[in-house]
A and B are shown apart, each in its own frame.
Chain A
Amino acid sequence: MRKVLLEVEGLKQYFNVGRKDEVKAVDDITFHIYEGETFGLVGESGSGKSTTGRTVIRLNHPTGGKVVFDGKDVMSLKSKKEMKNFRRDVQMIFQDPYASLNPRMKVRDIIAEGIDVNGLAKTETERNDRVNELLKTVGLNPNHGTRYPHEFSGGQRQRIGIARALAVDPKFIICDEPISALDVSIQAQVVNLLQDLQKEHQLTYLFIAHDLSMVKHISDRIGVMHHGKLLEVGSSDDIYYHGVHPYTESLLSAIPLPDPDYERTRKRIKYVDDSTDTRPRKMQEIAEGHYVYATDEEKVIYQEKLQQKKNK
């Protein structure tokens, strides 16, 4: 039995609660992440995928639901010390490598901030040695530690962000669109680096992105989000080849691939969200490890659909 590292149950994150402009950014989502795997979260802008990541690491206070990390309830952490320990275990890599690094700090100090806060190095030399080691790990020159962020390219800055996340030996890293701002050839470099680091340090990733083909490549399992709801969860092959939720199908049918023949025949499936249909739905397992957000009647329909797809 594989160990579950993160469990999210019925998580709700509303903004402007009770006001006219209340937003249900994340609305009753349930999923879990196994230790050592990469869980991809995909969806369009506004689907709530980034909010989910931010709530899990407690940058937001959730409206409802439970987040359990490594057996501990994240929402009940109260003291400063508990929070500090939690955020040592859980780190984040942000989307925009231009905005997420303090322009007034030297790269060395940016990376060492977590080391300093947690008191992980006893002496100045130990601290700098650690930073140099980290810079090497992410493929940067240790001599670059004394430079400022603006002296680096986008791909290099993202490597700095990765080094900063690694500095405190985390178990779990939330990667919030870490490659969206990078050029194609640099994207591949960063994705390969993330995969290497995962193997070396036994890391678990929550990988948030809108680029489905990249998510499929890096993830073991994928969750599809739309309008704050998690609609389908399964192994990346389940979602890719046997995705049954109409929204998953629509999202898949919209990805352009570098293949003109495929593009000529690709048919886009349109998804219409019926907001009048408010029948109660929950995550239902339609096959082992393959969940769909559905009513009981829909569950049966989806199961038949899945069977048809598998028979093809």
Chain B
Amino acid sequence: MMKKILEVKDLKISFETYAGKVQAIRNVDFDLHQGETLAIVGESGSGKSVTTRSIMGLLANNAIVESGEILFNGSDILKKSEKEMQKIRGKEIAMIFQDPMTSLDPTMTIGKQVAESLIKHNKISKKEGLAQALELLKLVGIPNAEKRLNNYPHQFSGGQRQRIVIAIALICYPHILIADEPTTALDVTIQAQILELLKEIQEKMNSSIIFITHDLGVVANVADRVAVMYAGKIVEIGTAEEIFYNPQHPYTWGLLGSMPTLEGTSDRLYAIPGTPPDLLEPPLGDAFYARNEFALKIDAEEQPPFFEVSSTHKAATWLLAPQAPKVTPPEEIQIRWAKFKEKQQSRA
């Protein structure tokens, strides 16, 4: 078993707003192992970004941590002072933000921006910092890096800017890298390059990556394990193989079904009806109840607990309860299940 580097336990976060209390994260639990990539998928508003911001200690002022702990190497991040957090942030845990256009400082040369956290954390000279920044910019594939150290962000293309953002996150060789939709703003060909780069770097540094995205294609490419979030909760978590070929939660079915596949023959996409619930007043039962065509009566009344599918795979849906009726999932999911069975048989 790989070493656990991060443990998020029973995390509950709300935001105080004029309209009332928004329950953004509702009892989230997961571990991150050394050297693995965990993908968190879900729609906007499902709580994936709030989860990672709490790990970075970057929550907004109106956020309230109602309960839970985030253990990083055994100590609780949520209890740390801002001063202590500053020693961790950027050095031990670093983040790649979504939008390379807004996450860089337009008035600062890229050499300085990349070296900044290294100079702060390791108390080295500017010159040495810039030298290391140069090495890293070469590593992330900025052509002519020597000459471009003194350039400003606007002199780079979108893909190059994202490489610079990655270099900033990597400069201190962090143990954990949080990538919040790092390729969403990029073209597919550039996206492919950036994903390859992240994998290469991970292999070299043996760092752990939390990868946030709503693109399941990207997840299939990068993830060792996948957590599916909905309305502030993790509804299913498992290895990439389990989530893609043996999904159990109807929401996961919906996500997988609503993406066209290349072999897709059906004229219509499977669309999840409706929109996510308002987390000002989360529903009493399963939050997915109103949009779930496979909903059971109990879903309206009681939130489903996690049911274990395997030692690495669990899903919060009443469909997995022993007394639940057997349902037939959408065609797309049946094809995936058949593939999973085949794989298991060929292994046995």
Q: Give A residues with C-beta under 8 Å from B.
A: 44-45, 153-156, 183-189, 191-192, 195, 210, 212-214, 216-217, 240, 250-251, 254-263, 266, 268, 271
Contact = CB atoms under 8 A, between A and B. Distances in A.
15 contacts: A44-B188, A45-B158, A45-B187, A187-B258, A188-B272, A189-B272, A195-B268, A212-B188, A213-B262, A258-B256, A260-B220, A260-B240, A262-B220, A263-B217, A271-B189
A251 B216 contact: no
Given A257-B217, A260-B240, A192 B269 contact: yes
Contacts of A212: 188
A179 B300 CA distance: 31
B275 A153 contact: yes
A184 B189 contact: no
Contact of B188 (A183, A195, A255): A255
B67 interface: no
A263 B269 CA distance: 22
A183 B261 contact: no
A208 to B, nearest CB: 14
B267 interface: yes
Contacts of A240: 262
Interface string B252-273: 0011111111101001111111
Given A260-B220, A260-B244, A262-B220, A185 B188 contact: no
Report the 7 A-B pairs with minimum CB-CB distance, sorted nearest first.
A256-B217, A188-B258, A217-B260, A188-B271, A258-B216, A44-B187, A188-B269
A251 B189 contact: yes
A260 B343 CA distance: 13
Given A45-B187, A251-B188, A257-B261, 17 more contacts: A184-B216, A185-B43, A187-B258, A188-B269, A188-B271, A192-B268, A210-B187, A213-B259, A216-B260, A240-B262, A254-B189, A254-B191, A256-B217, A260-B244, A261-B339, A263-B220, A268-B196
Contacts of A187: 258
Contacts, number: 109
B221 interface: yes
Contacts of B192: 254, 256, 268
A236 to B, nearest CB: 11
A154 B244 CA distance: 27
Nearest to B196: A268
A260 B219 CA distance: 8
Contacts of A214: 260
A185, A186, A192, A251 — which one has the most chain B CB atoms within 10 A of its CB? A185
B7 interface: no
B112 interface: no
Nearest to B42: A183
B258 A184 contact: yes
A21 to B, nearest CB: 15
Interface in B193-239: 195-196, 214-221, 223
B182 to A, nearest CB: 13
B150 interface: no
A184 B260 CA distance: 10
